[in-house]
């Protein structure tokens, strides 16, 4: 029997850096959605524990102890499973690929074995984004990632994700941040009636890492300009620490046509249109 679990892309619609702890970890306030697009973690009974890779984005990824799927399986005390990670999301791209893979592995092993999922504090040891990735829901993420609040369903939106195929170092982006103490989002978030209301509100918010990332990697600015100029795009922003950016659209057809046009104009980029998860 083979079981599988989606590891969806995580998109930070906002990312406010609100402080830095004495241990160097930054405090965040972020609005997060998950997409229908993602990696797949599969497992089947086997002798011993193993991990293998496949997929167009698996090149350069290790199956050793530094792999978050392997670490997640060990954290769950998994035995006698052959794990397979089908990688479709770019590596180190600001859309939570590794953390979402780890969370998918945790969910999968819990379903197969009946073991309880780890607490948010335990999941945080695998990575700051793992607790929010465990939810796969529309969330507000605060602190260093351990404070996760599930929100009412997001309005119907579609996204175009674009990565310029150039990696940007997360530590370097944080190091280039001139001010780590910035205002959070409002304590009470609005109820957005539709995609336009959400995009209008997002324009008043920030990703505090976007400017330093663009300074380090000018290609990100080119991606944002291309998304903003695409037909039907209501709003564009970088996700996480980059380099993946997103455009937000009110209609699925508009997102699909924008992705097709961008693919034709910039075939060297990784470009996908996707809906978001609502469960």
Residues designated catalytic: 10, 129
Kindly state the DSSP code that residue 252 receives in the 8-state scheme. Answer: H
Q: Following DSSP, what letter does each residue of 173-200 receive, concatenated? A: HHHT-S-S------SS-----SHHHHHH
What sign does the dihedral 246-247-248-249 (CA atoms) show? negative
The CA distances from residue 205 to 145, 235, 237, 253, 271, in Å, are 19, 12, 10, 27, 25
Q: Following DSSP, what letter does each residue of 56-122 receive, concatenated? A: TT-TT---STTSHHHHHHHHTT--SEEEEEE--SPTTSSS-HHHHHHHHHHHHHHHHH-PPPPPHHH
Beta-bridge mates of residue 251:
none
Closest CA to 241 of 147, 151, 131, 163: 163
d(CA 67, CA 138): 26
At residue 132, the 3 state secondary structure works out as helix
Q: Which two tokens stand for residue 90?
A: 């770019």
Counting runs of H as helices and runs of E as strands, what totals does the chain give?
9, 11
């Amino acid at each position: 029997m083979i079981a599988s679990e989606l590891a969806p892309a995580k998109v930070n619609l906002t990312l406010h850096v609100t402080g830095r702890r004495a241990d160097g970890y930054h405090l965040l306030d972020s609005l997060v959605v998950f997409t229908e697009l993602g990696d797949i973690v599969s497992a089947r009974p086997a002798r011993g524990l193993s991990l293998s890779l496949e997929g167009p984005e698996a090149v350069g990824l290790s199956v050793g102890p530094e792999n978050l799927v392997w670490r997640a399986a060990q954290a769950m005390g998994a035995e006698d499973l052959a794990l397979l990670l089908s990688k479709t999301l770019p590596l180190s791209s600001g859309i939570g690929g590794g953390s979402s893979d780890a969370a998918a592995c945790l969910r999968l092993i819990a379903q197969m074995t009946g073991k309880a999922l780890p607490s948010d504090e335990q999941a945080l040891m695998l990575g700051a984004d793992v607790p929010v990735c465990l939810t796969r829901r529309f969330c507000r993420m605060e602190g260093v990632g351990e404070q996760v609040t599930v929100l009412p369903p997001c309005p119907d939106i579609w996204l175009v994700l674009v990565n310029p195929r150039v990696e940007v170092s997360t530590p370097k982006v944080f190091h280039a941040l001139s001010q780590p103490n910035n205002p959070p989002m409002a304590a009470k978030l609005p109820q957005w009636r539709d995609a336009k209301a959400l995009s209008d509100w997002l324009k008043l918010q920030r990703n505090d890492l976007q400017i330093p990332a663009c300074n380090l990697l000018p290609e990100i600015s080119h991606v944002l300009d291309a998304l903003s100029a695409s037909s039907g795009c209501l709003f564009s922003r970088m996700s996480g620490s980059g380099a993946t950016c997103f455009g937000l659209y009110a209609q699925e057809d508009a997102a699909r046509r924008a992705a097709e046009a961008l693919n034709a104009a910039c075939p060297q980029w990784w470009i996908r249109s996707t809906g978001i998860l609502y469960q």
